Structure 1
Amino acid sequence: MGVGTSVLAIDAGNSKTDVAVVAADGQVVGAARGGGFQPPQVGVEPAVDVLAEAVTRALAQAGADSVGHVSACLANADLPVEERELARALRRRGWGTSVRVHNDTFAVLRAGLLEDAEPRGVAVVCGAGVNCVGMLPDGRTARFPAIGRISGDWGGGGGLAEEALWHAARAEDGRGGPTALREALPAHFGLPSMYALIEALHLGHIAPARRHELTPVLFATAAAGDAVARSLVDRMADEVVAMATVALTRLDLLDEETPVLLGGSILAARHPQLDNRVRALLADRAPKATPRVVTARPVLGAALLGLDDAGAPPETHARVRSHYEGGTPAHRG
């Protein structure tokens, strides 16, 4: 690859996919949105078929059949072996001369770095799940398997919802202490009790995917002062900072001024209790870290990573960033 390479940027999460075609000069000439990317549930090729639908529309809008380089940041690309397998699957589609696959957390990291910054920092994403990565300009990275409890993970939106249900169920049947979650969780679905909610979830009367709706209920209950809910929010902050601190340590960045980018729906919402605790803990454990909330669309990060691979000049990076940020920063202190 070299300067002047067009890029197909793909950011594929569990629930949706964003695609952008970036011309060699940094102009975004095609874009599309598609469904979620879930190879563990449907298999690699059917999952890539979902990407293909959005990619085909974006390339058609750009008036192209293929590009010079494909930069794909994909959910469920949690291990290097999975990245390699998915890269092979994308190469078979013939969308670009070269292909590079990253875990989707790298898109948040690259999108959140300042416009004139080199690719150096750490990102923690807390959305449906939780993950953390770090990168240095020399190509070194820090990452976690981030595949659930078997890899030591706790929290994220799904995990918080499960914890809230657990505490609420035990509050109702007497095995646990009192918590306002006992009333708040079933009330969200118009149900009178935790027993009724447990039954509805177990029998499929409430779709499993709707459990994520309970995470905002947890935060609202915590904000109202419930001790159990507040303890879960505090633990989520502890997990975010633990991951960030480990990544900084692995990359020898703990004693250097380093951005720590906070992304995903839960961290981007800036719930005061969570946000304040994350910042306080980082100030104590990694005082030179600079936390920033990333609100830019992660497909920007996928595009910038592709331009990095292509050796594109700074003005090309700036042009694609301006397209997504409207000329204003998409991160906050």
Structure 2
Amino acid sequence: MGLTASVLAIDAGNSKTDVAVVAADGEVLATARGDGFRPPAVGVGPAVDALADTVTRAYDAAGVTSADHVSACLANADLPVEEEQLAAALHARAWGASVTVRNDTFAILRAGAAEPRGVAVVCGAGINCVGMRPDGRTARFPALGRISGDWGGGWGLAEEALWHAARAEDGRGGPTALARTLPAHFRLPSMPALIEALHLGRIADARRHELTPVLFSTATAGDATARAIVARLAEEVTTMAVVALTRLDLLAEETPVLLGGGVLTAGHTLLDDAVRESLSARAPKATALVVRARPVLGAALLGLDGVGAGGEAQDRVRAHFEE
């Protein structure tokens, strides 16, 4: 029988996967990085197969063959039924004696919080929010896009900017500098040229996310339409946080609101200030904190929570990743 670690922590996002093998005293025995985790695109089985190489490399480097507990924070684990399916698939791999699967937003929350208590809002390609208390209560949203009531995220912001710019160009909407700055990013002369390039595939759909920083720079330069889009995102972030705080009876308590994802960690002053101002008005006891630590830290801390590790072990794993 091979050696056993305390926790196998997995943070698997759409673009990359991070794995950490952690001993009972919080020592990080090994880490590994792999490709993205996309069950909706390839299916649960193949997606978990793709994790196997990363986990195997981490276990080999650590000199262990399994763990007491697998703490997996996974992208696309948006519904309880998806968490159950993924947990069953991971358990079948026998990587650990027990398995807990959560949405990857929980990793951001735990990475930024001193204890499993608070709310996290993540704005990357999409937008999501979760909250938790030490007693196990959680608050969350489906986060499936517009069909579940979501607005925001880098992809949504780019589409909103394109919508306003197109209408400014043809007269259906008011003027906005976005009609000039968006096509200029791709070295195109006009919105009609950009629309044609996107429609005909000369510019890949995946490159639309490049327009999100253009939106923010245009807003910073003073464009009213771009600023209104940024203000709406700030309200969406605040609304999700306040609803989660309310569900968990934390609105009247001093509670951290952790902000993660590429959009919220990029240092957009206009957005940052608007979020803090709005949150201060609607949840005065909440404190907004930007989380830049690797989310696998959160998965590791949740795993240590699960095996009852003490504060020294948690401090040790946190120090490893924060250094």
Provide TM-score, normalisation by structure 1. 0.94
Residue 196 of structure 2 corresponds to residue 196 of structure 1: no
Aligned 8 A contact 2:5 2:21 in 1? no
**1:15-72, Cα deviation, whole Å (9 max, x unpaired):** 1111111112211111111111111111111111222221121111112222111100
Aligned 8 A contact 1:40 1:76 in 2? yes
Report what 2:13 is aligned to: 13
Residue 138 of structure 2 corresponds to residue 125 of structure 1: no
Report what 2:219 is aligned to: 222
Q: Which amino acid aligns with 2:171?
A: G
Please identify, of 120-129 and 57-66, the stretch whose mean Cα deviation from structure 2 is larger.
57-66
Aligned 8 A contact 2:48 2:89 in 1? yes
Q: Which amino acid aligns with 2:247?
A: R
Distance 1:210 1:241 in 2: 28
How many Å apart are 1:270 and its aligned residue? Answer: 2.5
Distance 2:244 2:255 in 1: 11
Structure-to-structure mapping, 1:206-285, within 5 angstroms? 206-285=203-282
**1:179-209, Cα deviation, whole Å (9 max, x unpaired):** 1111111111111111121122122221211
Distance 2:129 2:280 in 1: 18
Residue 62 of structure 2 corresponds to residue 62 of structure 1: yes
Report what 1:25 is aligned to: 25
**1:113-155, Cα deviation, whole Å (9 max, x unpaired):** 13xxx31111111111111111011100010011100110001
Distance 2:24 2:306 in 1: 13
Report what 1:170 is aligned to: 167
Aligned 8 A contact 2:151 2:236 in 1? yes
Secondary structure in 1 aligned to 2:136? Answer: coil
Distance 2:211 2:49 in 1: 31
Q: Which amino acid aligns with 1:187?
A: A
Report what 1:145 is aligned to: 142
Residue 79 of structure 2 corresponds to residue 79 of structure 1: yes
Report what 2:284 is aligned to: 287
Distance 1:92 1:53 in 2: 15
Distance 2:92 2:202 in 1: 41
Report what 1:43 is aligned to: 43
How many Å apart are 1:5 and its aligned residue? Answer: 5.8
Please identify, of 270-279 and 295-304, the stretch whose mean Cα deviation from structure 2 is larger.
270-279
Gaps of 5+ in 2: none
Provide TM-score, normalisation by structure 2. 0.97
Q: Which amino acid aligns with 1:16?
A: K
Aligned 8 A contact 1:237 1:274 in 2? yes
Report what 2:105 is aligned to: 105
Gaps of 5+ in 1: 327-333
Residue 322 of structure 2 corresponds to residue 316 of structure 1: no
Distance 1:214 1:51 in 2: 31
Distance 2:199 2:12 in 1: 30
Q: Percent identity?
A: 75
Distance 1:13 1:310 in 2: 24
Aligned 8 A contact 1:7 1:70 in 2? yes
Q: Which amino acid aligns with 2:51?
A: L
Secondary structure in 2 aligned to 1:125? Answer: strand
Provide the aligned C-alpha RMSD in A. Answer: 1.1
Structure-to-structure mapping, 1:181-192, within 5 angstroms? 181-192=178-189
**1:70-104, Cα deviation, whole Å (9 max, x unpaired):** 10001110111110111011111121111100000
Distance 2:267 2:120 in 1: 15
Residue 189 of structure 2 corresponds to residue 205 of structure 1: no
Secondary structure in 2 aligned to 1:265? Answer: coil
**1:215-273, Cα deviation, whole Å (9 max, x unpaired):** 00100000000111100000000000000000010011111111111111111112111
**1:152-173, Cα deviation, whole Å (9 max, x unpaired):** 0001111001101111111112
